[in-house]
Amino acid sequence: MKKLIITILFGLSLTNNSRASGDAAASALVSMALVGTIYSINSVQYDEWLKSEMESWKYDETDLTSSLSRGCDANLELRLHRNRRMSWIVLVVHNEKKEPIILNTDNMDVTFPNGAVRKMKSNHAVSDYKIDPGWTIQGVFPISEKAELANFKSMEVRLPFIDTTGKSVCELKGVLNRNDKREVDYLDYNRLLTVEFSLFYGNNLLATNSLKATSDKQGLFGILMNIYAYKNSGFTVGYLRQDLKKDNELTVKTARNLSALSLSETNYLIGYAVNFLHGRQFSTTFGLGLLGYTLEDTHEQNIHDMQNKTGEYINANFNYIYYSSDSFPYRGDYMVGLGFLFRNIPKFHIGNAVFGGASLAPYLDLNIGF
């Protein structure tokens, strides 16, 4: 009850006194709902964050990847997390000194057992970072290719501290170890997309029936969304639109004998999709499913006839990843490529004219994958 009263008061404070009480109540309800929703989302997100650690890097004693260490009068906690696309090191440093310490973020690195050294690139543009006495800082450092981690059994994180003149004074080190006794989770080393948006434009190369007769000069425009729910498999929803050319022969063949027949077709796609990422350069996607096909016969902006059919499609898509980023807010794979869309629509008639048929359309596309 107190919750409700406080919320309504909060809502009232946001509204003008002269407004109707209905507005105030609505405002209170909205604020109440928003606060509760944000709270619940935060809670779920943190739980998900805790669950997103690399399974094969968890210690048996804690079932966590968390690794604690100490040096330079500072405490360090390292964790190794991953999502579908990337993995990252979470780093927490607590200053126990009675004076500030300066972390030289430009020279932080990770050393692998084979001697390879990688700079730790932060998501945030910070240079030397001052940590006041008793303060704790946290940083997130993406690992650009998580598949590489499968080759290593440990990694040592090195954090250099400097004084105000820039001279190195101390190094804080921590180690993350792979646990060979644990099962490897599929997400640990495989880089996968979660959602992919595609915008494409193409034309029919091979076609039968009306798809040939009506579309050889007009382009096919479409948008697709692939959602990968299980490993690299998922489903596609899409929308394709094509304004067909005006064809005198078809006009004569139809029963209405209109002076100019104008046809347009719409396709709704729903089906299965599978994606393969080849390193950071290439991506291929294959899909097949059902196609809802609508042909509209319009004259002077009035629809004279509309035919709905259910067909099938097969889609193949080859993309070059021209930009890939793990840093917010540009996180994602940006791709350009080409694809082939095969459609099969059952035959049907308008007047004497035969519509439907099969077509193969090459297209160019722009993709963003997350």
Interaction site with another protein (CB under 8 A): 1-3, 6-7, 29-30, 32-37, 39-40, 42-43, 46-47, 50, 59, 61-64, 66-70, 75-77, 79, 92-94, 96, 136, 138
Q: With respect to another protein, which residue has the nearer C-beta, 51 or 167?
A: 51
For 18, counting Cβ atoms within 10 Å of its Cβ (0-12 exposed, 13-18 middle, 19+ buried), the class is: exposed
> How far apart are CB 262 and another protein at their closest, in Å?
24
Long-range contacts of the stretch 51-55 (C-beta < 8 A, 24+): 52/81, 52/82, 52/83, 53/79, 53/80, 53/81, 53/82, 54/80, 54/81, 54/82, 54/87, 54/149, 54/185, 54/188, 55/182, 55/183, 55/184, 55/185, 55/187, 55/188
| Angle, alpha carbons 325-148-334 (nearest 5°) | 20
Closest CB 304 distance from another protein, rounded Å: 22
State which residue, 6 or 364, has the beta carbon closest to another protein.
6
Of residues 259 and 301, the one with the C-beta less far from another protein: 301
Closest contact distance (angstroms) between CB of 162 and another protein is: 21
**Residue in the structure block whose two tokens are 């100490």:** 70
Q: What span, in angstroms and rounded, lies between the C-alpha atoms of 213 and 29?
A: 58
**Crossing angle for the helix pair 2-14 and 21-51, to the nearest 10 degrees:** 110
Nearer to another protein, 132 or 216 (CB): 132
Pick left, alpha or beta for residue 357 (phi over 0 → left; psi -120 to 50 → alpha; otherwise beta).
Answer: left
Residue (29 or 316) nearer to another protein, CB: 29
Distance CA 363, CA 267 (A): 15
Q: How far is the CB of 13 from another protein (least distance, A)?
A: 12
Cα(75)–Cα(116) distance, integer angstroms: 25
Question: Exposure of 3 by Cβ count < 10 A (0-12 exposed, 13-18 middle, 19+ buried)?
Answer: exposed
The CA distance from 234 to 246, in Å, is: 38
- Least separation in angstroms between CB 15 and another protein: 16
Smallest separation, CB 31 to another protein (Å): 9
Nearer to another protein, 239 or 348 (CB): 239
Q: What angle do CA 358, 214, 208 make, to 5 degrees?
A: 25
CB of 11 to another protein, least distance (A): 12
Given the complex with another protein, which of 3 and 256 has the nearer CB atom? 3
Q: From the CB of 216, what's the least distance to another protein, in Å?
A: 35
DSSP sequence for 222-252: EEEEEEEEETTEEEEEEEEEEEPPP-HHHHH
Query: Which residue type occupies 359?
Result: S
For another protein, which is the closer residue by CB, 79 or 178? Answer: 79
The least distance separating another protein from the CB of residue 38, rounded to whole angstroms, comes to: 8
CA 125 distance to own-chain centroid = 23
| Residue (1 or 125) nearer to another protein, CB | 1
